[in-house]
Amino acid sequence: MYDAFYNLKKKPFQLNPDPEFFFNSAVHRRALAYLRYGLAQGEGFVVVTGAPGTGKTMLVKELFETLSNKRVVAGLMVTSQVGAEDTLRIVAATFGLSYDGDAKAILLKNLENFFKLKAREGKRVLLVVDEAQNLPFQSMEELRMLLNFEMDGKPIFQVFMLGQEELRSTLKGNKMEQVRQRITAIYHLRPLEEEEAKEYILHRLTTAGWNHDPKISDGAFREIYQYTSGTPRIINTLCDRLMLYGYLEELHELDEVSVKTVVGEIEQDAVRSRSSVISETDETTPMEHIHAGAARYEMPSGNIEERLAQLERTVAGLRNTVNKERALLRKAILLQLDMEQVYQDTPIE
């Protein structure tokens, strides 16, 4: 794929969070500071919120990397809509404890024993709850009650909650007063500023072994920011497609025209996806579609100006069709490359 074409050691814009690519922007640096402050406090809830794709999960992975040599036992829990007892089972499973079929009292006792065992070893247990906006009130209450476990007057369990913006609204609810009282720090992640977005892209490219091939123009950076509004995940998606486009077109410089072309393809994909849903209820037969298409390209009647105008519209339509076919060809090449990669990576028995 394009990583080999541009002599990169790995894909720079993969969507899977990789701590190696962590970009210490002002907003992420501040969020990490809040997490570390909360960790130093050693108790209660620490809350980080942000829109989808702003880097909350990457923050967790970066935090875990920094915890590798510290006396903290950390577990990551990705939530869904679960009941209170299911929440306790998920917490137990996160730390490798028995949970299947156990009654609530047994679950609580097992968790308390585990927390105290780690405390006697000089360690503290930290639960990181990702997608915490999905937690119902009763689950929040169960986590709050777990915070009450202590030994020798010191807290032995702590919870970090990461969630989308609706988590902030949830925490403002009338029933959440006791949960709010246990929050020691809260921070909201915002998207990157335009200059930060450029630095973010260059950071990921450099980390992947980029040696200024392809070159990226200032205009390209402006177009990327305009389309993504500085959201890291959207930047990754667009830049990954942009690098693929550069590879398929054998480009060694990407400019604003390249970005606009790729954005156009992405938007056309979105339109086609919506159209495919609509077409499920379309009762027009294939032959009717063919006749409708043919009618559009009949030689127009009227004076020469009208005929020329109609022919220009026809050419524009054909040009659009060619562009769509080229986009499909790119996808076909990408699929073929993926299949070849899978074949190469599969060991021979």
For the beta carbon of residue 75, count every other beta carbon within 10 angstroms. 16
Give residue 8's identity as a one-letter amino acid code: L
CA angle 142/63/87 to nearest 5° reads 20
CA dist 247 and 214 (Å) reads 9
Give residue 326's identity as a one-letter amino acid code: R
CA dist 136 and 177 (Å) reads 15
Locus of tokens 């919506």:
274
Model-level pTM?
Answer: 0.73
Token representation of residue 213: 């091939």
> HSE-up of 31 (CA within 13 Å, CB side)?
28
CA dist 139 and 275 (Å) reads 40
CA dist 148 and 114 (Å) reads 14
Query: Please, what sign has the CA dihedral across residues 111, 112, 118, 119?
Result: positive
Output the pLDDT for position 78.
80
Output the pLDDT for position 1.
77
CA dist 324 and 346 (Å) reads 33
Query: What is the pLDDT tens value at each position of the chain, 349 positions in all?
Result: 799 999 999 999 988 888 889 998 999 999 888 888 888 888 899 999 999 999 988 888 888 887 766 788 989 888 666 776 688 899 999 999 988 777 888 899 999 999 999 999 998 899 999 889 988 889 999 999 999 999 998 999 999 999 998 999 999 998 999 999 999 999 999 999 999 999 999 999 999 999 999 999 999 999 999 999 999 999 999 999 999 999 999 999 999 999 999 999 888 877 776 666 555 555 554 444 434 443 444 444 455 666 566 666 666 666 666 666 666 666 665 555 555 554 444 443 3
CA angle 141/146/152 to nearest 5° reads 145
Domains of the chain: 26-188 (3.40.50.300), 193-272 (1.10.8)
Output the pLDDT for position 328.
60
Describe the chain by its helix, strand, coil percentages, rounded to 5.
60, 10, 30
> HSE-up of 9 (CA within 13 Å, CB side)?
10
